[in-house]
Structure 1
Amino acid sequence: MKLKFFLPVILLGSLLTSCKDKNVDPANETETNNWILANMKYWYYWNDHIPTSPDLSKDPASFFESLLYRYDATLRPDGDRFSWIQESADELQASLGGESKTPGMEYKLTYYPSGTTNVIGVVLYVIPDSPAAKSGFVRGDIFSSVNDQKLTGTNYSQLLNTQDKKTYTLAKLDKDGILEEGTTKREVTPIVLQEDPVFFDTVFTFGADKIGYVVYHQFIPEPYQAKNGLYDKKLDDIFTSFKNRNVNALVVDLRYNPGGYVSSATNLASLIAKATANDIFYYKEYNDEVTETNRKKFGETYFYDKFISKSQNIGANLNQLFFLVSSRSASASELLINGLKPYMDVKLVGSKTVGKNVGSVTLTGEDKGIKWGLQPIVSKSLNKDRKSDYSTGFNPDFPVTEGNILYPYGSPKDPLLGEALFQITGTRIARQVRGARILQEEESQEITSTIVKKAGGSNMFYK
């Protein structure tokens, strides 16, 4: 059996379910279900709540679901919001490594104007050299129709939740926030892409303030199936530049980061923290069986991770540390914030985070001929002070919404970045246009975004 440890992402929609195929051999399903049950009895954080006599005749997806101690606000407020199963273990592992079939752009969907059933898509960012980039899409683009059908609250899922070629019709918002339907169309065909999560960085200089800014979209150490730590090294190089330029304030943009590998969270934390390699970054709390087995095998070191000694660390020179966050920031993003809080004055700008203080593990049964992959919650995460009090999310110190008029990364007009720069320097570097302020009020009408469907989408993964 193969397994990899993670810190869960919120995965919704197409990754979870499987229809029962009447041609499937029931004996194979029973073997798969026995494998699922054995692993869940050992690994699952809530293994003491697994039914004593589960129905092994169910299809694997339904059987897995029947074992879970699912969250219920009234009955099970301490329950599981994040475990999932996927029919293809190969696709599960690829998605966790940042590889997926995609048009190459992430977007949010929102009702616009507020109070109507009309839906628009707002492009959050575009992967370089992707089909979306080659067709001309950029951050901030808005589309209102797909395949010549206007998006509404009843058809957007059907029009968008397929992996075939699509034609998007662009629209725009004028300075007063009025939607103007356009005629420009862009055709995009999804392909399998590897996403580089280290997206943008720059340094701002305002008098004595030298402010490093980095945009990080997912905690992934390297491309899928690579063993080169490429993306972690890319962050190392950015922090080398920050250090050489005497950066004394830092803004880390995690607003679209749903989580990922804990190893990458530890790496980034070690570039930032006012701490040493002898200091605890975070603790892991498991069920009694995993705890007993691994305490005997590995000792207490199994249950915590320390910071790594990094020559690129800028903590000693940092006077201020800000994270940009949103309702899409989860899991490893929150682990990073929680782990740094005992060592530094951490400030958050944006909106409330997801609240994922638990971690998962990837389980595959390739050696047994089982094609399914499991991503169950196996642990709870705590910082050096044994605090894990963010199950409902971190509240921002400075609440700001980005609205529906988006600015390029690094623009001080961006509401979240602009607020962080103001808090650091005491000066408003740039002001938004009137329409942007109006459109911030539309944030409450957001329906969903493609970020929540990313693996890592609230996942913290232990590798």
Structure 2
Amino acid sequence: MKFTKALILIFTVSFITTSCFKDDDDNQISASSINDFVWKGMNTFYLYKNNIPNLANDRFTSNITYVDYLNSHSSPEDLFESLIHQRETVDKYSWIVDDYIALEQLFSGVSTSNGMEFKLFLEPNSSTKVIGIVRLVLANSDAENKGLKRGDVFNAINGTPLTTNNYSRLLASNSYKINLATYNTNNTSETSDDTVASKNESITLNKLQYSENPIYKTKVITVKGENVGYLMYNGFTANYDSQLNAAFANFKANNVKHLILDLRYNPGGAVNSAILLSSMITGQFNGEIFSTEAWNTEFQTFFENQNPELLINRFTNNNKGTALNSLNLQKVYILATDASASASELVINSLDPYINVIHIGDFTTGKYQASTTLYDSDDFGREGANPNHAYAMQPLIFKSLNKVGNTDYDNGLTPDIQIKESYTNLGVLGDENETLLAAALANIEGSIIKLETIKSKSKPFLKSIKDSNSFEPFNNEMHVEKKLPTDLKRRNFNE
């Protein structure tokens, strides 16, 4: 499981609930304390509060009606889901968990993973059979240690053929055996004669505790006498910001004039890491607006009246006092696909008003909202959390905008050069002949003929179903530590 995968904001904050009635210590009516936590947290923070009538401050006239409402829901999950605004189209990323310890481990970079990232497709000429194709094998993982390779095909788990009805269950186990297969195009461009043949070969994969270094590959390539830096970056992880800065130091030492940033499988991560990366790419915009935030009406009004700067994220020239190795580029080439989300999109969107961003690949995920971790405590913070349960919530609380106000890209960011990866011919990541990297190099070289040839050869034809990032609810997260000032703490908007 990827550990930094939607836009998540984690900060230290102390707010009390905004309910329209006061708690009555003399009233002995009992309600689920977890459901009480869910409603009050959503009532206070939820970005789309105004769209949910049951979250209105005047929804309940007494404790009795409030308790009856809470008790009408069978579980915290049931209540939480009933308060989500347009789950399928608008809010696809708010979540509730019953184990915040595991959640905290994810955000700190610790997860369980077998190291195999993949994408699932319908088998040609079938509406039910499913195949998986490995797109990335994480370094020093169980999958790498057992010889799994990018481009490997599998069509069964533990000997059971994958279908549209069973793939979620079969791939959810912590340990399973993938049965390998061969995809045959029969040397034609048609799919009607394509076949998938099972091989008498399998690999058992185990999900183990794993900490991923998001700096997957760096390389310097020479094009027409100028050095081109290539960086494949797979997650915005604060623990690796220093290593990221070191990678850019190497680019500077090699007098890199062009940069290809590969975010094709990057689902997101820390907002601050996105700011640092963007500041390393540029450097000439220190202190300028990187992105701004739009919260629910009550928070937005308070911020604008009391401290508008809290709504602004700015470019920087240092990381905790250490100078950034910035390239001062006026153009960047970013490889991004439908697996690029959240912080990846934030980088593309926020750099766009300042420099020429050449987005090569496909439409991105379309994730521009942020969420926060809420605990069942008086101020929704970690300290003092109810010891009787481990529930926590991740509701969306704001959306990000770039300097000129661009946001709400529900259908993803549009590529400048659209080239879809062909999963039957993925190539080697970092190799100059790999399709997306080759397209970027051709563009830098100024070879229109070469670029058109690459585009013509990249014709994916498999119908995709799902990728490995989608198997976890927190697969598109972006988080940032943001401590609010004292005058915002313990504030009740109804006072």
Confirm or deny a common fold (TM above 0.5): yes
**CA distance in structure 2 between the partners assigned to 1:29 and 1:335 by the alignment:** 41
Matched, 1:341 2:352: yes
Counterpart residue identity of residue 252, structure 2: K
Matched, 1:419 2:435: no
Q: CA deviation at 1:346?
A: 0.4
Q: CA deviation at 1:209?
A: 2.9
Q: CA deviation at 1:403?
A: 1.3
Matched, 1:43 2:7: no
| Residue in structure 2 matched with residue 362 of structure 1 by the alignment | 373
**CA distance in structure 2 between the partners assigned to 1:301 and 1:266 by the alignment:** 16
Task: Give percent identity, aligned residues only.
Answer: 31
| Residue in structure 1 matched with residue 428 of structure 2 by the alignment | 408
Question: For residues 228-247 of structure 1, what are the structure 2 equivalents within 5 Å?
Answer: 231-247=240-256
8 A Cα contact 2:330 2:355, kept in partner: no
Q: CA deviation at 1:152?
A: 2.4
Residues 60 and 439 from structure 1, CA distance in 2 versus in 1: closer, same or farther, beyond 3 angstroms? same
Counterpart residue identity of residue 187, structure 1: T
Deviations along 1:104-133, whole A, 9 cap, x unmatched?
211111112254533221112122222111
| Residue in structure 1 matched with residue 317 of structure 2 by the alignment | 309
Q: CA deviation at 1:383?
A: 1.0
Residues 431 and 350 from structure 1, CA distance in 2 versus in 1: closer, same or farther, beyond 3 angstroms? closer
Residues 66 and 383 from structure 1, CA distance in 2 versus in 1: closer, same or farther, beyond 3 angstroms? same
TM-score between the two structures when normalised by the length of structure 1: 0.84
Residues 72 and 184 from structure 1, CA distance in 2 versus in 1: closer, same or farther, beyond 3 angstroms? closer
**CA distance in structure 1 between the partners assigned to 2:94 and 2:253 by the alignment:** 42
**CA distance in structure 1 between the partners assigned to 2:125 and 2:258 by the alignment:** 37
**CA distance in structure 2 between the partners assigned to 1:437 and 1:140 by the alignment:** 21
Matched, 1:63 2:86: no
Matched, 1:34 2:36: yes
Match of 1:153 among 164, 181, 184: 164
**CA distance in structure 2 between the partners assigned to 1:442 and 1:305 by the alignment:** 41
| Residue in structure 2 matched with residue 441 of structure 1 by the alignment | 460
**CA distance in structure 1 between the partners assigned to 2:326 and 2:88 by the alignment:** 43
Question: For residues 180-329 of structure 1, what are the structure 2 equivalents within 5 Å?
Answer: 180-222=197-239, 231-273=240-282, 275-295=284-304, 299-310=307-318, 311-316=323-328, 318=329, 320-329=331-340
Q: CA deviation at 1:400?
A: 0.7
Aligned length: 423
**CA distance in structure 2 between the partners assigned to 1:320 and 1:159 by the alignment:** 44
**CA distance in structure 2 between the partners assigned to 1:319 and 1:266 by the alignment:** 17
Residues 390 and 432 from structure 1, CA distance in 2 versus in 1: closer, same or farther, beyond 3 angstroms? closer
Deviations along 1:292-337, whole A, 9 cap, x unmatched?
444566x121010111114444442x35311111111111111111
Between 136-145 and 420-429, report the one with greater CA deviation.
420-429
Q: CA deviation at 1:40?
A: 1.3
Q: CA deviation at 1:80?
A: 2.0
Q: CA deviation at 1:85?
A: 0.8
Residues 240 and 454 from structure 1, CA distance in 2 versus in 1: closer, same or farther, beyond 3 angstroms? farther
Gaps spanning 5+ residues in structure 1: where?
A: 1-5, 10-26, 74-78, 223-230
Query: RMSD across aligned C-alpha pairs, in angstroms?
Result: 2.8
**CA distance in structure 2 between the partners assigned to 1:8 and 1:186 by the alignment:** 35
TM-score between the two structures when normalised by the length of structure 2: 0.79
**CA distance in structure 1 between the partners assigned to 2:457 and 2:224 by the alignment:** 32
Match of 2:149 among 128, 132, 138: 138
Gaps spanning 5+ residues in structure 2: where?
A: 1-5, 10-28, 61-65, 188-193, 377-381, 482-495
| Residue in structure 2 matched with residue 21 of structure 1 by the alignment | none
Residues 438 and 269 from structure 1, CA distance in 2 versus in 1: closer, same or farther, beyond 3 angstroms? closer
Between 413-422 and 342-351, report the one with greater CA deviation.
413-422
8 A Cα contact 1:273 1:313, kept in partner: no
8 A Cα contact 1:243 1:312, kept in partner: no
Counterpart residue identity of residue 44, structure 1: Y
What secondary structure does 2:469 align onto? helix
Between 275-284 and 88-97, report the one with greater CA deviation.
88-97
What secondary structure does 2:70 align onto? coil
**CA distance in structure 2 between the partners assigned to 1:344 and 1:455 by the alignment:** 34
**CA distance in structure 1 between the partners assigned to 2:47 and 2:235 by the alignment:** 24
Match of 1:87 among 89, 98, 108: 98
Counterpart residue identity of residue 399, structure 2: K
Between 248-257 and 46-55, report the one with greater CA deviation.
46-55
| Residue in structure 2 matched with residue 12 of structure 1 by the alignment | none
Counterpart residue identity of residue 468, structure 2: T
Q: CA deviation at 1:167?
A: 1.4
Q: CA deviation at 1:458?
A: 2.4
Matched, 1:372 2:374: no
| Residue in structure 1 matched with residue 14 of structure 2 by the alignment | none
Matched, 1:127 2:135: no
| Residue in structure 2 matched with residue 225 of structure 1 by the alignment | none
**CA distance in structure 1 between the partners assigned to 2:372 and 2:254 by the alignment:** 39
**CA distance in structure 1 between the partners assigned to 2:474 and 2:352 by the alignment:** 22
| Residue in structure 1 matched with residue 23 of structure 2 by the alignment | none
8 A Cα contact 1:96 1:455, kept in partner: no
Counterpart residue identity of residue 173, structure 1: Y
8 A Cα contact 1:242 1:314, kept in partner: no
Matched, 1:390 2:409: yes
| Residue in structure 2 matched with residue 226 of structure 1 by the alignment | none
Counterpart residue identity of residue 67, structure 1: L
Deviations along 1:161-204, whole A, 9 cap, x unmatched?
222x2111222335736534311211122112122222111111
